[in-house]
Amino acid sequence: MTPKKVHIISHSHWDREWYMAYEQHHMRLIQLIDDLLGLFKTDPDFHSFHLDGQTIILDDYLQVKPEREAEIRQAIKAGKLRIGPFYILQDAFLTSSESNVRNMLVGKEDCDKWGASVPLGYFPDTFGNMGQTPQLMRKAGLNAAAFGRGIRPTGFNNQVDTSEKYSSQFSEMIWQGPDDSRILGLLFANWYSNGNEIPTEEAKARQFWDQKLADAERFASTRHLLMMNGVDHQPVQLDVTKAIALANKLYPDYEFVHSCFEDYLADLSQELPEELSTVSGEITSQETDGWYTLANTASARIYLKQANTRVSRQLENVTEPLATMAFEVTGTYPHEQLRYAWKTLMQNHPHDSICGCSVDSVHQEMMPRFDKAYEVGTYLAERSANQIAEAIDTSMFPEDSCPFVLFNTCGHEKKTVSDLTLTWKVFPFGQRLPKAVYQEAKEYLETRQPQFQVIDAAGRVIEEAEILGTDIAFDYALPERTFREAYFAIKVQLRLPLTLSAMSWQCLALQATDQLNQAPNETLLHQDGSCLENDFLKVIIAANGLLTIEDKLNGNRFDSCLQYEDCGDIGNEYIFRQPDHDIPYLAHQGSCKLRVLTNTAYLAEIELTQTFDIPLAADDRLQAEMEAVIDIRERQAKRSQEKAPFTVKTVIRMEKESPRLQFQTSFDNQMTNHRLRVLFPTHLKTDHHFADSIFETVKRPNHTNAQFWKNPSNPQHQGAFVSLFDGRTGVTVGNEGLSEYEILPETNTIAITLLRSVGELGDWGYFPTPEAQCLGQQTVSFSFESISVKTQFASYFRAQEGQIPVTTVQTKSHSGQLPAQYAYIKGATDHVALTAFKRRLSDNALITRSYNVSNDEACAFTLAIPDHTARVTSLLEEDQHNPLPAQLGKGDILTLAWKKSESAHL
């Protein structure tokens, strides 16, 4: 009889920052690597150490001990140190689609530099796993993924129930994505610590192995058993080879080997049975009691999610497209600067970081990283936009005008109303005192009293442009080759309705005029001041602040929208826990004031100020329960009896050409341990909904699985939107960095979390986190769109691309080789989302990445770049020999490399 083989893999799951600050963990990492390098020399039987699938650990170590790089390289070459394939172990849902790809791209670059990589998708502690993992792995050249959460293992002691979609009898299974990609899934059914600290004393070893072998055999589909020798921040077991030798002596029917994932996968693949379970799509612990899905990390420290969205949009959707366009002019692309920005951003993407479930010092260190990545992105974007603008032929504009260029860096046409600030005239300091220069600028304004208009390249006046005002402001220029130039400038503020083609620019100019534009008599706000109306929507604002939204195109009506609900939260950064018998407080039951901010033919903005009394905090029992580490399910704390006014201000924005109703909500949070949500009741008859996720629009049930679920709430992750659609009509609610929602199935209400205020980390001890109460001024943004069969998919990209601003730069009147108006791409459709428009590192080929937003049906793929030919590549942008497809399959992700024709020019 062939003995069972026990593969023991030494590792340490390295959370770079969590219950201690980064440097506390960092210094312990230095000790770990030092121990490993010493062990490799002293124990020839020590096979290898798995470095947690993330190459950033090497950067962290060499940052302190660069002199040991040669030893690291030799250990990797010898197979002692097993690295990659990723840069970091990122959270699956709270990072963008492109961030997930860039993690693999940077990881591959690092692994290529070091000369080795473990061919395994590694997600040991990810808080749920995204549905497109199989396709992402396959298109990155990986055929297997290991993970610790999301699937309920049943084992041989339980009868297999074929109705259970997220359970597996074995720790090995087939994982299938929405596009039908299939990989081998490896579940750490006994966690990634099932072989930790193996005893070297005989009695203890027998006790240890009797239990561990039985646990592993319960779930293993073959004779190959996986034992993970390590856990979070675990020091290497220096005597593990001695422990393995003892195990072989004690258990002659087993073969114990110090192993690695490569060897384990090779052995496993030879003996996998045909009857493995198949799990499909995302795996997020759907068939559990619902308490430990950790989905509520989506609403912990929402300011982190907002910052991440802002920076991701800047790098992916502004900086890279502009730099890609500028390449046509400069022949250069800022690969190194962008890599630096991306790596800085991704250092915030491990789950303990971006999920907001660490101690305060960790998240204090994250914000400068966001700021650094954003500043790099804005610098590169401005430089690229100026390079393009300087090459545009603006000679058709009058000499006394101020040309400016508007860029739409989205993958679809953008219709919006943008507020711009342009410089009309400059008063340089030179050798003069600022006071004298300011006086000169002031006299210019007072004597000239200039009026302005906007013209296009044909000289036509843009009648819709609205001049909001002029003022004097300090500014400066940084010439390429000379010293800085300080000045006061006449700044002109204007508002401009825009329609810009996908991935395009358009040049306009500001011009002085003696003729004042007459504002149209029609406005979007009715005379009664409580009704907004455009061609798409009619919005009635009740005296209490609730909205009735009528869809003028399909007759839908949604009542009692924009409900603000506040309830208690006695949970932690991981898990929301409403106190027993807690009754939410509703803003529309308090006072409400309405103020008109803007009312024109193209834009209306109304400010609602709602004030209602809510409890100041939780009662005194909560502090005692936290300090005693009482399980949140057993806590008895309630909200305090003392209350204070809580004011919510909402700016409701309607644009003439947009079916999206936009909201910006602000509040000064001085209360603790509570949750604020906004509710949109829909009363739609459907048992499922759709949400923006990683390279997919995921379909989720509105109801939980009652056979398993015990948690009273069912929080979910979202990217840019969540949508309910009954087959005929529906609603899409968009957001900017609001990553948690819940569908309340009784009325199919969409509930978006705006604030979750808690005071502790949670998990395995008491770690106070006062800054997780998120005290102070907060501002959040979201949107509402009524949809139909024709507009369902368009509403998705409008929500996604609503996060991306129009970029504006000024230039001068000059000749140039570029036209005043140009669209880079053609053939954009509602069914295809564009996530990348960048240059490839190896040869500067233009890279696009797109996906089919439907997981149910194929769609036509008509994207084209004039004068370019495309070639299909892998997800890692390596050329393949597949022909350019005419359609995308359901849920399909497509990466293309575009080469410009030799004779082509813009």
Which amino acid makes up residue 7? H
Cα–Cα separations (whole angstroms), residue 513 to 450, 451, 510? 7, 6, 10
DSSP-assigned states of every residue in 166-208: SEESSSEEEEE-TT--EEEEEE-TT-TTTT-S---SHHHHHHH
Which amino acid is residue 248, in one-letter code?
A: N
Q: Which residue has the tokens 């947009």?
A: 658
720 with 705: CB under 8 angstroms? no
Q: Closest Cα partner for 465 from 501, 494, 499?
A: 494
DSSP track, 44-109: TT---EE-TTBTHHHHHHHHH-GGGHHHHHHHHHTTSEE--SBSS-B-SSSS-HHHHHHHHHHHHH
In the sheet that holds 674-680, the strands lie side by side as: 585-586, 563-568, 674-680, 749-757, 740-744, 716-717
Establish how many alpha carbons lie within 13 A of residue 153's alpha carbon, considering only the half-sphere containing its beta carbon. 23
Helix (H, G, I), strand (E, B) or coil at 222: coil
DSSP 383-424: HHHHHHHHHB--TTS-TTSEEEEEEE-SSS-EEEEEEEEEEE
Please give the Cα distance from 364 to 373 (Å, whole number). 15
CA distance linking residue 351 with residue 606, whole number of Å: 38
The residue whose two tokens read 């309705």 is 497
d(CA 351, CA 308): 13
Residue type, 629: V
Q: Which residue from 75, 68, 74 is spatially nearest to 51, judged by alpha carbons?
A: 75
Q: Residue 291's closest CA among 776, 557, 635?
A: 635
8 Å CB contact between 576 and 562: no
The token pair that represents 680 in the structure block: 């949109």
Phi/psi at 557 (nearest 5 deg)?
-135, 135
Q: Which of 52, 60, 125, 619 is catalytic?
A: 125
Residue 323 C-alpha from the chain's centroid:
22
Cβ-based neighbours of 430, under 8 Å, separated by 6 or more: none
The tokens describing 462, both together, are: 């843009």
Q: How far apart are CA 825 and CA 822, in angstroms?
A: 9
Instruction: Please say whether the beta carbons of 108 and 117 come within 8 A.
Output: yes
DSSP 684-706: ---SEEEEEETTEEEEEESS--T
User: Is 125 labeled as catalytic in the residue annotation?
Assistant: yes
Q: What are 765's two structure tokens?
A: 């001890």
Q: Could you give the residue ranges of the DSSP H alpha helices within 727-863? A: 792-801
Longest dimension (CA), the chain: 102
Active site residues: 125
